[in-house]
Amino acid sequence: MKTLFSLISGLLFGAGLTIGGMTEPARVRGFLDLFGDWDPTLAFVMGGALVVMAIAWRIVPGMARPIFEDDFHVPTKSELTPKLIGGAVLFGVGWGIAGLCPGPGFAALAIEPAGAAIFVVSMLVGMALLRLTEGKA
């Protein structure tokens, strides 16, 4: 049941990204172009995500445990480290250049496989290099 729910959740997430235009690099770049031909469409996608998460953060404290897990996995760290800031900067620069981030990148594999594959492979290579340099391979 947990696997089925995970599959349905992933498909719903991918469909939402696709319908919201997050798998279209040109639309993402248009959203990031604040001083040019700005496309506000993705602000509504992000706003919708914020509403859903705000509701989830209100519901979670009242639940004894998740439906398909033994415990909640809520972040416990709140400090800003150079590694976190560097990762956020790298993510933002990559998002601006490619017009994709991990979720939409994988969803775009179904729509535009050639372009998305370059992004996804590059992302996976970068993740592997990080693990190797941190000694977690």
Half-sphere exposure of 38 (CA within 13 A, CB side): 5
pLDDT at 135: 66
pLDDT given for residue 120 in this prediction: 92
- Which pTM does this prediction carry? 0.66
pLDDT above 60 for 137: no
Name the residue among 28, 6, 31, 7 with its Cα closest to residue 17: 28
Q: Which amino acid does the sequence have at 134?
A: E
Tokens of 38: 């700005």
Local confidence band at 26 (pLDDT 50, 70, 90 cut-offs): confident
| Angle formed by the axes of helices 25-32 and 82-98, nearest 10° | 120
* Cβ 9 vs Cβ 17: under 8 Å: no
pLDDT at residue 133 greater than cutoff 90: no
Q: Could you read off the pLDDT of 68-101 as tens digits, one per residue?
A: 888 888 788 889 999 889 889 988 888 888 888 8
Please write the tens of the pLDDT for every residue from 3-21: 999 999 989 988 888 888 8
